[in-house]
Structure 1
Amino acid sequence: MTDASPSRHAPDRRATKGRKHGARGFALVAWAVALACLLPMVAVAIAALTGGVETISHLAETVLPRYALTTVYLVALVSLGTFGIGVGSAWLVTMTRFPGVRFFEVALVLPLAFPAYVLAYAYTFLLDHPGIVQTTLRQVTGWGPRDYWFPEIRSLGGAALMLVLVLYPYVYLLARAAFLQQSASAFLAARALGDSSLRAFWRVSLPMARPAVASGVLLTVMETIADYGTVSYFGVQTFATGIYTSWFSLGDRAGAAQLALCLLGFALLLSVVERASRGKARYHHAGKQQAALPPAQLKGLMSLGAVTLCALPVLLGFFVPLVSLSLMGLNSEQDLMSRRYIAFLTNSLTLASVAAVITLLAAVSLGFYQRLRPGRVSNMAAYFSRLGYAVPGGVIAVGLMVPFAAFDNALDAWMQGHFGIRTGLLVTGSIWLLVMAYVVRFMAAALGSYEGGQATVHLNMDAAARSLGQSPLGMLRRVHLPILTPSLLTALLIVFVDVMKELPATLIMRPFNFDTLAVQAHRLAADERLEGAAVPSLVIMAVGLLPVILICRQVGRRR
């Protein structure tokens, strides 16, 4: 008995040792990803604080107040717009019945396919002074340019409208999911106590959906302060445009870093304020989800109003720009089959594919590390990795360019001093540094999709795999990944499309003569060649339809 004991327990000890080594490997990868995601923020802070007070003093006296005020106004307008459209349309398609409700509950997601800067090109073509609408108006009425007033599309209000039209689906999707999960008990209790339907909605249903709505609005705010293409094209001066101007036009790296730090602080402050506003409040559904509120049948003017309110954002956010861009593209001289456009398309697909795969692998490592070692350390690594989604692409670009440019210059000086060899810029301006920026920027999206799928894998499966002698890597490969294939494909697709649409980081960090479809569209639009900009914009929109179709299929299955 004594002699048999060691041999009986030796496999268990070896398996335990293998599991510890496997968990340690995932921990190393997870923390490497977390620190890489944290690097741009730290680098921006160091570069800004060591840049001297002269630059920031000059900025404070000249452009900083204007950047701050414009950014705040833009955030306020987009927040109100996305809240009103997103929550209102979600309530209508979930809690009421009117003609076309089945169509609208899916169609309201379609504007997600467009980047805001593409909408800006389409509506400028339609509404600007030489555009179709004003030209037709002058021909019909015989008015001259000074004989009438027409709203200016290239303005702060125009930029806010473009952003609202493409970002409200974030609020709509989260609010609709929250309304679907609510029980009828609390709402009916409010009605029994004398509240009207509208009052019961404001006092009961909306507060219960507050966490989801707040998350959606916060997401639209982060996208708003990160936007560069729309505001730069409309001439609206925000922190995002200031960073790009300081970096390229003025060659002021310290100023760009200090503006990036201001924008980073603003983004993190918004996130902290939103969390603090919740306090210790907790939200519980009153009753079971099965006791759902029966939808109200709308008739007459109320039905017409519901159709109008749901049709307007779909019409203005998807169909009008689609038709406008198609008309522009037909009259352009851009050839998608030309060598230049094939190069643009190849560059875009290469960047998006490589970044999506690397981001997904990093997200799997982080998520599985949390699964293996739940606790404060793994949660902190995941938190650091998510910070990039709250940081605009321009800030990440500056935060990566500053330290790696210093590294390249130091290496070049050392190699020249010791060996007489000029290494030049090995990392700065390379495709890999640009891919790293994409990974940092979109890690949260991939990690969220992976964690959502991982929650469906019961812990008993992990225990069964360990009892059969599986290492952590074997458990991930044989148990988790086959189950999580749909979630992994969703994460891969979301990151792929986000990279295709990303503009500020690509503009700042792309290698020389390595342009993408987004860069080409921006360049043509900046040169007022809107018809030419329509062609790459349509391709970006077509690619953006892929995740929208996936989301629409999921929305259609909710009932």
Structure 2
Amino acid sequence: MLPILYVLLGLFRPTNENWQIVKQYLLTDYVLGSAKLVLFTGFFAALLGVVLAWLVVGYTFPLRRFFRWALVLPLAVPPYIAAYTYSTMTSYTGFIQSTLRNQFDIKLPPGTIEIMSSKGAIFIMTLFLFPYVFMLTRTFLERQSASYIENARLLGRSRLSLFIKVVLPLSRPAIISGVMLVVFEVFSDYGVASYFGMQTVSTAIFQTWFGMYDVDSAIRLAAWLLIVIIGLFVIERFLRRNRQFNATTSQSRPLKPQQMKGIAAWGATAFCSIIFLLAFIVPLTQIIVWTTWTYHKIWRADFIDLMVNSLSGAAIATAVIMIIALLSARTARMLSSSLAYGVSRLMTAGYAIPGAIVAIGVLAVFIALDQRLSTVYEWLGKGEGALVLSLSLSMLITGYIIRFMATGYNAIESGYEKLPRVYTEASRTLGRGNTKSFFKVELPLLKGAVITGFILTIVEIMKELPLTLLLRPFNFDTLATRTYQYAIDERIYDAALPSLLLIGISLISVLLIVRLEKEK
């Protein structure tokens, strides 16, 4: 929590001349840009996710079983990769317009397809983030809504009335949870907004830091963004303060879908197919084609170093996260107190905070540590005012640990929830101590949760862009940063190979989630 608290304290520091300029001329545009992106993306992602979830849960139609898991796959494509892919495909020289001109002699007027805009950013973010809402809403409807929906059908509700009057109110907790994840991702985004030239608070933090070289103003911007995110939490909790969603019976069964026939059935298949093609198949196919054009040039000696950097940094951070997660989850389980639960929640708060904010807080703390250790550095011959910790890989790894502690901890906590206490108690009764009981009894039974948490965490770290851009040591590139650099330099085809590797790694994570959900 220390870096996050350091950012919040930035609100109470004296302002400088740069902040007055930002406040007077730029802040309004930054805030409006972020608000527009968050509101519209959240609305359209919720709409798309809920409609698709209700289709695959409530009805049977051709390819329904396929779409049930396939519509989660767009999560494997990072939005910033989708942004440059679609912008290049839809440009004047891109595949779409060139095919229309050369094959069908159709010339579109300039500006007909305009992806490089705020509307394009909303389109990209919606298309590649809606699976959060889809996945949570689908799971909720499948497991907890059968009796309510079947009763509504027996009482004569039409399809539209059933959706509006029963499905939407019933699914509200799942919808809100999914939308909050989308909102956090949009607030955290830097790649899409930067590439499309949008003014958002995240891009403002980078511009203030690297354009004005003013860390204090960047911290102040980050603090205000953090206040907004905390405010969203408070508002969401306030709206749910007197609402409880409880089943009237302990028996639950899966919802039996209703048969769709004729035009309605094929219309549902067509709708799901279009979304799946746009959100996964089209960008993936285009990136594979570009990779075949450029991999001979890109796959050189330093690309191996790039992969080693990505894997080593992510693996070290993930290993530390899993060790801390095991220790803290076991402590919270043994103590069973509200204090232990509260501390564990605070430990995982970094996941809800944009990477740029975490990065600024970590940098500020590490610079303060270097100042405290300056006499030690002089004694070691590093020179006066040397920056050792704040120019090292350890700072980046610390940022990863704070940002992604939640993925590792939640996996371990979920594993402990399925592990009866009687096993540990039996081990203690038979003479084993606390430590031996953990290694001999608990850890073998938690193996699946540990592996799941490790894979999910390492994939999330490898995809992270803004935090890596801000905290990486000099000449330390990862697949995510190299992809972004190629895209910013308009070397789109060169960016295809690292993009394809990132999508492949992300795909492993998404398929793992699907498999684990199926096993449950």
TM-score when normalising by structure 1: 0.88
Counterpart of 1:551 in structure 2 is: 513
Change (3 A) 1:240 1:288: same
Deviation at 1:186, TM superposition (A): 2.1
Counterpart of 1:479 in structure 2 is: 441
Q: 1:44 aligns with which of 7, 28, 31?
A: 7
CA contact (8 A) 1:185 1:287 kept: no
Deviation at 1:282, TM superposition (A): 0.9
Counterpart of 1:494 in structure 2 is: 456
Counterpart of 2:474 in structure 1 is: 512
CA contact (8 A) 2:209 2:218 kept: yes
C-alpha separation in 2, matches of 1:420 and 1:40: 26
Deviation at 1:493, TM superposition (A): 0.5
* Counterparts of residues 183-194 of structure 1 (less than 5 Å): 183-194=145-156
Counterpart of 1:58 in structure 2 is: 21
C-alpha separation in 2, matches of 1:418 and 1:291: 67
Q: 2:183 aligns with which of 212, 217, 221?
A: 221
Change (3 A) 1:142 1:543: same
Larger radius of gyration between Structure 1 and Structure 2 = 1
Q: Does 1:537 align with 2:486?
A: no
Counterpart of 1:332 in structure 2 is: 294
Q: 1:75 aligns with which of 33, 38, 59?
A: 38
Q: 1:390 aligns with which of 332, 352, 365?
A: 352
* Structure 1, unaligned runs of 5 or more: 1-37
Change (3 A) 1:500 1:192: same
C-alpha separation in 1, matches of 2:82 and 2:205: 23
Counterpart of 1:202 in structure 2 is: 164
Q: Does 1:375 align with 2:337?
A: yes
CA contact (8 A) 2:295 2:497 kept: no
Q: 1:173 aligns with which of 110, 115, 135?
A: 135
Deviation at 1:129, TM superposition (A): 2.9
Change (3 A) 1:265 1:129: farther
Name whichever of 121-130 and 200-209 sits farther off. 200-209
Q: 1:354 aligns with which of 281, 301, 316?
A: 316
Deviation at 1:115, TM superposition (A): 0.7
Name whichever of 84-93 and 414-423 sits farther off. 414-423
Deviation at 1:289, TM superposition (A): 4.8
Instruction: Give the number of equivalent residue pairs.
Output: 520
Counterpart of 2:226 in structure 1 is: 264
Change (3 A) 1:230 1:464: same
Change (3 A) 1:418 1:485: closer
Q: 1:157 aligns with which of 105, 110, 119?
A: 119
Q: Does 1:308 align with 2:270?
A: yes
Counterpart of 2:83 in structure 1 is: 120
Change (3 A) 1:420 1:249: closer
Deviation at 1:372, TM superposition (A): 0.9
Change (3 A) 1:74 1:183: closer
Q: 2:242 aligns with which of 280, 295, 313?
A: 280
Change (3 A) 1:420 1:116: closer
Change (3 A) 1:459 1:319: same
C-alpha separation in 2, matches of 1:215 and 1:55: 38
CA contact (8 A) 1:55 1:254 kept: no
C-alpha separation in 2, matches of 1:92 and 1:68: 36
Deviation at 1:312, TM superposition (A): 2.2
Give the residue type in structure 2 aligned to 1:135: S
C-alpha separation in 2, matches of 1:289 and 1:126: 51
Give the residue type in structure 2 aligned to 1:492: F
Deviation at 1:288, TM superposition (A): 4.9
Counterpart of 1:24 in structure 2 is: none
Cα root mean square deviation, aligned: 2.2
Give the residue type in structure 2 aligned to 1:175: T
Counterpart of 1:19 in structure 2 is: none
Secondary structure in 2 matching 1:428: helix
Q: Does 1:103 align with 2:56?
A: no
Report % sequence identity. Answer: 35
CA contact (8 A) 2:412 2:446 kept: yes
C-alpha separation in 2, matches of 1:148 and 1:165: 24
Counterpart of 2:412 in structure 1 is: 450
